Amino acid sequence: MPSMDAEPVFRGVIALELRNGTPPDRAALAVDAAGQIAERLGRDLAAQVPAVTGCELALLGAHFDPAEALRPGWPLHRRALELLQRAPGKAQGARIVGFGADARGEVPLPLQADPELTGGGLRVLPFVLRGDQVSTVTAALEERLLDHGMLSADTALAVQEALAAQIEHGRLLSLHDLLAMTALQYRNVGLDGLWSLLEAALLAPDSEYLLDAPPEPLARYVQGQVQIALLDPVAWRRRNQPDASDPQQLERGFKLFQMRQRQYAAVLQAHAVPVEFVHCRAGEAAALC
């Protein structure tokens, strides 16, 4: 995965599969629990790759929707790294730091999840590793975590109790693993085209990508945003169903197309990819710059 930082960093998450999709009662770990769980996280990672013990670790002790972790520039992991850089104890060797709610139980801004993205069955707690060995550690963790990265029983129990959550499974994943799982999920529900746009925004932000595959929306990723073509019924019919003649069929088809456009926009916005709707009467890609 391309790095957005000059300094090599491993980006990972604790992924919590919630029983029956029931959200945790607490938005974040208490500060003491965040430190203790960060220590256990370091131990669990070192059990997979012993060289982790030479790396610094920072855990954001709040749970987020996966879409919040998969946003351009990886903002949650950038927050974790910034907090680690400001944390005391730099001269004391490899630090393990957990960031949680303050002494009054209030969740500070860097740990506040998007209130519009609650209710999903999977929540993630982001963490980062950095240090001289992080490149070697990253390669080894990418090899192991997807297949072998179950949280240890005591770590999973500690997270469950600290968040007042009902957890079915707890796993350790690299950000690359989370990307792959999300891609598979979107493709399994027929959103291949949407994933291609999102992948360009996340992994090649300076690139351009045109989605021109009827009956999917006509869209282009360019200059950090996705433009979606707004078609009138005539342009839509010309592009998608030129041989159809039944008025009711055409009306239903156009409404479904509009719903698909709104679905694309909602998912892209959940991943913090800006969306612009562009009027395109001719229904041609040239209308999208």
Residues 154-168 have pLDDT tens digits of 999 999 999 999 999
Average pLDDT of span 23-48:
95
Q: What is the pTM assigned to this prediction?
A: 0.92
The predicted-structure confidence for 192-227, as pLDDT tens digits, reads as follows 999 999 999 999 999 999 999 989 999 999 999 999
Q: What is the dihedral of CA 247, 250, 255, 257, to 10 degrees?
A: -170
Ordered DSSP codes for 105-170: SPPPGGGPPPTTS---SEEEEEEEEESTTHHHHHHHHHHHHHHH-BPPHHHHHHHHHHHT--EEEE
> Would you say 39 and 144 are in contact if contact means Cβ atoms under 8 Å apart?
no
pLDDT in tens, 98-154: 999 987 778 988 899 999 998 789 999 999 999 999 999 999 999 999 999 999 999
> How many Å apart are CA 144 and CA 159, to the nearest integer?
22
